[in-house]
Chain A
Amino acid sequence: MHIPDGFLDGSVAATMAVPAVAAVAYGVRRAGRTLDDSKVPLLGVTAAFIFAVQMLNFPVAGGTSGHLMGGALAAVLLGPWLACIVMAVVVAGQAFVFADGGITALGANIFNMGVVGALGVGLAMVLARRILPANRTVFLSVAGVGAWASVMLGALLASAQLGLSGTVPFATVLPAMLGVHALIGIGEAVITVAALSAVLATRPDLIDGAGFGPLSTAPLTPAAEVAS
């Protein structure tokens, strides 16, 4: 869902940079309080994994492919704000080194593919923790459904930005985008749940999970403690 330059009107692209920069800046600010030494390699490897799996386009219906976005996965692993940093690293790297996704559209791409999924799934995890039992099935279900929803929300936002830019009528692009991304989102959910299952099987205590602490033997995570 990388928007290249030319698809968005300059003012729409610039406007989308505002929430993207704000979210990443807040993540940077929080990192000074919550990112301890043990999370440094985890942030690096989460970014690397998302970059790698984004290269693995899988076929969906009718000569179309899709790939992981990763915002949901990063949010569950590292918490929503560190996830915004991870997604900015991945999407900016793709734009500047691989010419994948535009430069003026960078804010929109970080927001659509990263920030929205990270914050949305982070919020879903917090809410689920309050009202649902803390067990593996609930945890993976929330992550999987959240991953699918993050793709749909990204598609909705991209459609709105294209519509506001006058590139294509919103009413035309929205159903097309939602239709194909409903399928791509299933891939997002499968990959997210598979990756989380692998971490649960090896080091469940490394999962931030917005306070799904009882899943592991570890005490509550720093992100849950520093909820202020």
Chain B
Amino acid sequence: MTRMPVVVFTVLALALAVGLATAVSPYASPQPDGLERVAGDTGFLEEGGLHAVQEDSPIPDYAFPGIADERLATGVAGFVGTLGIFLVGYGIAWGLRRTRGAEGATAP
């Protein structure tokens, strides 16, 4: 059996991630998550707030700015966010990757 090349695997997995974040996330549960729920029930929810640097968040609360339709705003945020996180993760990994084998002649 021929193996799926890593590039194909990556593209398929990324397409799945982008698809979920774009098309499914607008229909995710809007209910408070576990911690928010407990914070509400036990009376400390009000103590939470945004840090000063978060007042101007580019995509606050997973809603892409300037889009009136809530579901569309969430889907666009998911699309942009997932691709952005992929690029950041890829870039960091590229920067950190093993270079010793390339510099010396010691192939792994």
Contact = CB atoms under 8 A, between A and B. Distances in A.
A203 B4 contact: yes
Which size class do B's interface residues fall under? 35 or more
Interface of A: 1-7, 28, 31-49, 51-53, 55-60, 63-67, 85-86, 89-90, 93, 95-100, 102-104, 155, 158, 162, 167-168, 172-173, 176-177, 180-181, 184, 202-203, 205-206, 222
A43 B34 CA distance: 28
A93 B38 contact: no
A172 B39 CA distance: 11
B50 A98 contact: no
Contacts of B12: 202
Contacts of A44: 10, 14, 86-91, 93
Nearest to A48: B86
Interface of B: 3-4, 6-7, 9-10, 12-14, 16-18, 20-21, 24-25, 28-35, 37-39, 41-44, 47-51, 53-54, 57-62, 74, 77-78, 81-94, 96-101, 108
B99 A93 contact: no
B89 to A, nearest CB: 3
A43 B6 CA distance: 12
A64 B57 contact: no
Contacts of B62: 55, 98, 100
A31 B97 contact: yes
